[in-house]
Structure 1
Amino acid sequence: MLSKVAVVLNDNLAMFEFGVVCEVFGLDRTGDGLPGFDFRVCGAEPGKPLASSSPGIRVTPDYGLDELRDADLVAIPAFPFHISTALDPRVIEAVRDASDRGATVLTVCSGAFLAGEAGLLDGRKCTTHWRYVNQLAQRFPQATVDPDVLFVDEGNLITSAGTAAGIDACLHLVRRELGSSVANAIARRMVVPPQRDGGQRQFIERPVVDCDNDNLSETLRWLEENLELGHTVESLAARSAMSTRTFARRFAAETGTTPVKWLTGQRILLAKQLLEDTDMDLETLSHRCGFGSGALLRHHFQRQVGIAPVEYRRRFGVRVS
C-alpha cells in the first residue's frame, strides 16, 4: 500500500522534477474521491533553506531524515549529478536504510546518482537522463543502465529519465499500487497521458490532427468514428475530393505518416481503451476496432505496444463485474 511519501532534497535541487513529485503525491485530491498521501518534504537539516537550480529560489524542507524510516515511498528529485561526491553522508545513509526497511525508492532524472551512492543500483537495471547515462554507467559499473527507456521498474526501485519522464514513473507507480482509475484521475487533473510508453491510453484518446485542408480534416474526423469499416487509400482520397496521389502526399504532410500507419495507430488506441474499460472478448473487440480478426489485432498490438492484448488487459484493465 502506498500511504506515506517522503521526498528527500539535496542542495541545488531541480525545481521541475521536485514539482512533479509534489504534483502527483503532494496535492490533496481526497475531495475528488482519491486517496490521500502523507506527504513529507525532508532534508538533512529541516528548517534550513536549500538552494535550487532556479536562480533566486530556495526550498526549505519541513521534516528531517527520520521521516524516511517508515515511508512507503522515498522520492529523489534531480540535482546536478556532478556534485554527487559531495552528498551529505546522512542523506545517503537515510536512503539506504529506508530501502533496507522495505520502502520503494523512486528517482527522477539525475536522482539516480543518489540511489547509486546508496548502493541501490548494483546488480539492477536503471536509467537516467540521456545526457548522463554514460556517467551513471561509469560511476556504478555494477548497474545495468538502459539509455532508451522513460523509466525502469525494478520492484522497490524505480528510476526515470529526464524531466517529464518523472511524471510517467510516478503515475506508473500509482497505477501499480493503487490501480488504473486513481492513476487516470490524477493524470486527467494534470492534463497528461497516464503513461507514455507502457501502454495506457492517453486522456485525449484519438486526437485529430489540425489540418489546413478542410476536406482532409473532415475525413480524419469521419475515420475516427468509423474505424471498424474497411478503408483504402483510394476510398479515402475520393471522400476527400482528391486524387490518390495528392491525398497521400497531403496526408503525409499533415500527419507525418501514411494513411495506413495512421489508421492502424488509431485502431490500436481504440483497442487500448476497450481493453481497459470493457470485458469485450478479443474477436468482438478486433472487429470493433477494424482489424477483422483477433490474430490481426494481436499482431499489430504486439508490434506497437510491445505486449499482447491479453497481457495489456491484465495489467491495465478495470475489472468489469
Structure 2
Amino acid sequence: MRELSAPSAVYKKKAFRPSEKGNGDMGFFDKIKAGLTRTKENIGRSFETLFSGEMTEDLYDELEEALILSDMGAERAMEAVEELRRRVKAEKIRDAGEGRACLRAILTELLQVGDPALKLDTRPSVALFIGVNGVGKTTTIGKLAAQLKGEGKRVMMAAADTFRAAAADQLEIWSERSGVDLVRQHEGADPAAVVFDALSAAKARNTDVILVDTAGRLHNKQNLMNELGKISRILERELPGADRETLLVLDATTGQNGLIQAKQFSDVAGITGIVLTKLDGSAKGGIVIAIAQELGVPVKFVGVGEGIDDLMPFDAERFVQAFV
C-alpha cells in the first residue's frame, strides 16, 4: 500500500443510501428490549415475574442474585437492593409493581453520571476512539459517521490505527458505506502524522467533525500513552479550543473483562464517554451500570445490531425500563 500525502489521502465517497439501513423503524426502547433478551434468559426469571406479587424478603434475595447474574457486579447489586429496601420502607410500599418502579428509579440514578450527549459543536470538532482490537471501534466509527452525515454535518475519518493489518482498509469500506471522506497512510505510518494530515484536509474542506480510529494496544501501556499523548499535542496545537471527545469502545459480551479494560484505558486516557457494542448479543446487560459507576463516565452510545443505524444514543431511563 503506497503512502499518500494529505491532499490525495482524502477519498470522496459515495452517498449513504437509505436502503442500506436495517430496522430503521425500531426505536431505542424496542431495540434495547430485544437486545436484553439474553440477559433475561441468563438470570432465569424475568424482573416482570419477580415483581408480580408483594414485597417480601425472598424477593430482595432473588433480586440481588438476578442483578449479580446480569453482571452488574456484587457490590453494586447489593447497594441497589439495600437502597430499594430503604425506599420501600420509607415510602411504605407494599405492591411489588410499585417496588419495580422504585428499582427503575434507583438504577436510572446509577447510570446518570454525566452528560450522555456528544459535545462536538466547534468546526471542526474531533472524536477519538480507543479500545482493544475486536471490540467494534471501526464499525462504531462508520455508524456514527452515517448518523452525523444524516444530520447535515461534513464528516471525515482518520485511519490512525496504522499498526493493525487492514485496519485502514476496513475503515475505507465504512467510509464508502456511510458516504464520508477518509484520510489514511501506509501500514506502520506514524498515527500522529495521519491525524495531522486529517486536520489539514478538514480545515481545507470546512469539515465539521473528524472521527479518529486509534490502535488498540493494551499490552504496552507506555506505548499507548505516548501515542495518545502525541496525538493530543497535535490537536492542541492545530485546533486550540476545539471540542474533543475521547470515546472508549467496549464489547458488552465480555462482561467484567470489559470493566477491567475500561479501568486500564482510563489510566492512560482522559475518557469522556463510553460506547458499548454488541449489547444485543450479551447476556450481561447489567455491565452498563457497573461501567458507568466504576468509571464515573457516561455511556454515550450502545450498539444493538449489525445495521448501519444500530448505534443508538444512550438513554438511561429507557434502558432501565427495558432492562427491568
**Fold conserved between structures, TM > 0.5:** no
User: Highest relative contact order (Cα 8 Å, sep 6+), 1 or 2?
Assistant: 2
TM-score when normalising by structure 2 = 0.29
Q: Quick check: which has more Rg, 1 or 2?
A: 1
TM-score when normalising by structure 1 = 0.30
